[in-house]
Chain A
Amino acid sequence: DTGVSQDPRHKITKRGQNVTFRCDPISEHNRLYWYRQTLGQGPEFLTYFQNEAQLEKSRLLSDRFSAERPKGSFSTLEIQRTEQGDSAMYLCASSGRPGGYTFGSGTRLTVV
């Protein structure tokens, strides 16, 4: 499978716990994006990597959120001290050229 992989597909956590999601992009893509999507809304941009450099972060990305992309390969998104408002679908996308995004299937987070 040469698509974008995200793990886990679903995560249920208690409020206050930390969670980490992983994204494996298409291997030849140097651009990687994280988006968040709540029910009935389009995806909202969180952050963007070009290779290992994090070039842009949204205001939505509070201090509790951190993303990494070591060695420009896979990426992780960590949420510390989760809150109920963090419940959403977290989408990862990669691109080898501007505009040509390939999305993963997402990680659905439920904070109880």
Chain B
Amino acid sequence: DAKTTQPPSMDCAEGRAANLPCNHSTISGNEYVYWYRQIHSQGPQYIIHGLKNNETNEMASLIITEDRKSSTLILPHATLRDTAVYYCIVRAPMDSNYQLIWGAGTKLIIKP
């Protein structure tokens, strides 16, 4: 079973910040939080990952709570092309078991 819980769907207005929450209350100390997204009919695309510090890249920002039991992915200025299913995954990068365990994700719809 997936180790994360995400809302099944969210809406956001174009140009506004999209904030996608993820609960991972059973996260272990060596597990990272990864975010991927999947645009319709395409393979998943890596967005960002972090351990405990907040992270930012050209696509998004990742805010992880101090207790690491939840996180938020922020798309600062959402565009229509950001409409996708967003997946939050936790895993330890150095696990010998390299598979990712995926939940159902959050379907984000950006509205004009």
Name A residues whose Cβ lies closer than 8 Å to a Cβ of B: 4, 31, 33, 40-45, 48, 56, 58, 91, 93, 95, 97-106, 108
Contact = CB atoms under 8 A, between A and B. Distances in A.
Interface stretch (B12-20, B66-74, B89-97): B89-97
B102 A99 contact: no
Given A33-B98, A56-B97, A98-B93, A106 B104 contact: no
Interface residues of B, number: 25
Given A41-B104, A42-B102, A93-B44, 13 more contacts: A33-B98, A42-B105, A91-B43, A97-B93, A98-B93, A98-B95, A99-B34, A99-B49, A101-B44, A102-B46, A105-B41, A105-B43, A106-B42
Contacts of A42: 2, 87, 102-105
Interface of B: 2, 32, 34, 36, 41-46, 49, 87, 91, 93-95, 97-105
A105 B46 contact: no
Given A42-B87, A43-B102, A100 B46 contact: yes
B49 to A, nearest CB: 6
Contact of B104 (A40, A56, A58, A101): A40
A44 B43 contact: no
B32 A99 contact: yes
10 contacts: A4-B43, A42-B103, A45-B100, A91-B43, A91-B44, A98-B93, A98-B95, A99-B32, A99-B49, A101-B36
B51 to A, nearest CB: 11
A25 to B, nearest CB: 12
Given A4-B43, A93-B43, A31 B98 contact: yes
Contacts of B44: 43, 91, 93, 101, 103
Nearest to B105: A42
B94 A98 contact: yes
Given A40-B104, A99-B32, A48 B99 contact: yes
